[in-house]
Amino acid sequence: MDTKAKEVPAAAELNWRNKSRRTYTPEQRLAMVRACQAPGVSVAEVAQRNRVNTNLLFKWKRQHERGLLPAPKAPGALVPVTVVKEKRLRVKRAVRARAKSVPAAGAIEVELPSVRIFLHGSVSEVNLATVLRALARR
């Protein structure tokens, strides 16, 4: 068995086909375009700092001006949740969730035998279902 490491010719190391393409998220692209818009900053300077081809950065800049640059994805709508454990458990109580909805205040309180959950703000059915599914897995 041959245990020697194979030598890679210097020309093969410089071949761009051997390297995978770098990809940039929409957030990264937008950050670079906004950095170019700062007063006194050149596009070439931002491109060098981020190791991006200057022409590519100009392309993203033009796309942004025309509204064609993909916008960063908005994070999923999360609702602040507070989980409070009860101090004593009631064994005889049926295992069921009691939910009170208070639309005027924009809050929901869910009480389980061992947990009480307060959801503040506007709470959608989807978000509430997600929280309840997570509790069911406990």
Kindly report, residue by residue over 74-131, the tens digit of the pLDDT: 776 667 777 766 555 444 444 444 544 444 456 677 776 677 777 777 777 777 777 7
Q: How far apart are CA 103 and CA 112, in angstroms?
A: 21
The answer to whether residue 137 scores a pLDDT higher than 70 is no
User: Residue 102 in 3-state DSSP?
Assistant: strand
Asked if 101 contacts 122 with a C-beta cutoff of 8 angstroms, the reply is no
CATH 1.10.10 maps onto the chain at 10-66
Q: What are the angstrom distances between the C-alpha of 2 and each of 8, 12, 14?
A: 16, 22, 26
According to the model, what pLDDT value does residue 138 have?
62
Over residues 42-73, the pLDDT tens digits come to 999 999 999 999 999 999 999 999 999 888 87
Q: What is the pTM of this model?
A: 0.44
Buried b or exposed e, range 109-134, using 16+ CB within 10 angstroms: ebbbeeeebebeeebeeebbeebeee
CATH code assigned to 10-66 = 1.10.10
Using alpha carbons, select from 129, 116, 54 the residue that is nearest to residue 90. 116
Backbone torsion region of residue 82, taken as left when φ is above 0, otherwise alpha when ψ lies between -120 and 50, otherwise beta: beta
pLDDT, residue 12, reads: 58
**C-beta atoms surrounding 24 within 10 Å:** 14
Q: For residue 21, is pLDDT > 60?
A: yes
